[in-house]
Amino acid sequence: MAADVRIGMIDGDGIGPEIVPVAVAVAGAAAARVGLDVEWVPLSMGQSAIANHGDPLPEQTVAALDGLDCWVLGPHDSAGYPEEFRGRLTPGAIIRKRYGLYANLRPARAYPGVRAVRPDIDLLIVRENSEGLYADRNMAVGSGEFMPTPDVALAVGVITRAASERIARIAFEQAQTRRGRVTVVHKANVLAMTTGLFRDACFDIAREFPDVAVDEQHVDAMAAQLVRRAGDFDVVVTENLFGDILSDLAAELAGSLGLAASINASDVKAMAQAAHGAAPDIAGQDRANPVALIESTAMLFDWWARRFDDERGREVASLMRTALGDALSAGEATPDLGGSVGTAEFGRRILARIAAT
Ligand code: ATP
């Protein structure tokens, strides 16, 4: 009989082969408890794919992703690839572009038991992921950065009403499932046309959600406000570059990059991908923190539940989060959080908690 859901699992580079199996095992155990039959589809990406197929993102992987709704992507260490692959788009960028994964959801939440700069932080950054100033995303042909002379460099920033409205809708929908507040972050006092259009589009969409409170911040003020009163913010919606920067700030305020989860989604496909990189400095040492990827995978099940209107996805995510939160509250943590539990052992302890639920 066909599985309820087929999910790609892609180890990737660096700490990927350590943290992806942990996230998959935790999700698999939670799904089994809930009676959701998951088929995990292993796919190749990164250094091992170069060795076996001559490409960091082989055709076989792309063909398989074409047929899947969602997958868990480990980190890639593109800077460590052989010279010939270094100038190219990274595997993550190719995948985001191919499937139009326009919504990057990045929560920042302090866990009980984990030391945080702002223990009251519990927010979700909804980052527009397809345009803005990112040179690899905003042109059909050529790069969004160019140099008319060796001493002059220009960058094109693209903001469209359509992309702004669709990301705003995601932000307001998310707020309905949280504390009902959206903060629109822009810089319309200086970038009046581009980020002004983004702001106006968000406020237009706000009218469709009278149950959600909305306010706005300039991005520079927002950086300061996050440090001062992170706990006051619920959902933050912003354009690509601002979202990238603010989400790293928020992750640090919540405790560690190793806790920074994210998903990249469209209306029909989603990818769980921790916000951190491949961490080659600690790869293979059983020291990597799998929390970010476990939470990212839980978010993937939330997305799936919404997409297919199947409550079991939300139950899987909830079981995963409860076990994770309980472990961290009990002081079980990897070295980056000051603990002494190894990656694999941390995974086993979460599994034991799910089994005891
Ligand atoms: P990228 O550009 O791919 O994001 P990077 O070099 O900027 O990569 P990371 O690979 O995320 O950043 O590593 C930054 C630092 O954070 C490193 O010291 C790394 O060991 C640490 N780090 C990142 N992720 C984790 C994790 N999951 N667990 C423990 N430490 C981590």
Instruction: Name the residue at shortest CA distance from atom 3 of ligand 1.
Output: 277
Q: CA nearest 24: which of 285, 301, 279?
A: 301
Helix (H) or strand (E) holding 351: helix 343-355
Angle between helices 219-229 and 240-254 (to 10 degrees): 10
Is 86 or 149 the better-scoring residue by pLDDT?
Answer: 149
Contact status, residue 135 vs residue 155, Cβ threshold 8 Å: yes
Domain ranges across the chain: 1-104+260-356, 117-254
pTM of the model: 0.94
Question: Residue holding tokens 């859901």?
Answer: 5
Distance 352 CA to ligand 1 centre (A): 28
Pairing state of beta strands 103-109 and 263-265?
antiparallel
Q: Torsion over CA of 234, 239, 243 and 246, rounded to 10 degrees?
A: -80
Q: Is 258 in the pocket of ligand 1 (CB under 6 A)?
A: yes
CATH 1.10.760.10 for domain 117-254: no
Q: Would you say the CATH fold of 117-254 matches that of 1-104+260-356?
A: yes
Residue 77 is given by DSSP the state -
Q: Is the pLDDT score of 257 beyond 90?
A: no
Q: Which CATH architecture has domain 1-104+260-356?
A: 3-Layer(aba) Sandwich (3.40)
Query: Which whole number is the average pLDDT over 44-73?
Result: 97
Distance 27 CA to ligand 1 centre (A): 23
Q: CA nearest 128: which of 238, 205, 202?
A: 238
Residue 51 is given by DSSP the state H
Q: Tell me what the pLDDT averaged over the chain comes to.
A: 95
Q: Is the pLDDT score of 86 beyond 90?
A: no
Q: How many residues does the chain have?
A: 357
Pairing state of beta strands 70-73 and 270-272?
parallel
Q: Is 289 in the pocket of ligand 1 (CB under 6 A)?
A: yes
Query: Which whole number is the average pLDDT over 189-193?
Result: 96
Residue 293 CA: which ligand 1 atom is closest?
27
Is 17 or 136 the better-scoring residue by pLDDT?
Answer: 17
Assign 183 a pLDDT band (cuts: 50, 70, 90). Answer: very high
Pairing state of beta strands 122-128 and 103-109?
antiparallel
Residues annotated as catalytic (active site), given as ranges: 134, 187, 220, 244, 248
Assign 143 a pLDDT band (cuts: 50, 70, 90). Answer: confident
Assign 298 a pLDDT band (cuts: 50, 70, 90). Answer: very high
pLDDT at 224: 98
Look up residue 229 and give its two tokens. Answer: 């009163």
Query: Which whole number is the average pLDDT over 34-41?
Result: 97
Q: Is the pLDDT score of 140 beyond 90?
A: no
Q: Is the pLDDT score of 123 beyond 80?
A: yes
In this structure, the number of other CB atoms found within 10 A of the CB of residue 326 comes to 18
pLDDT at 47: 95
Residue 77 CA: which ligand 1 atom is closest?
3
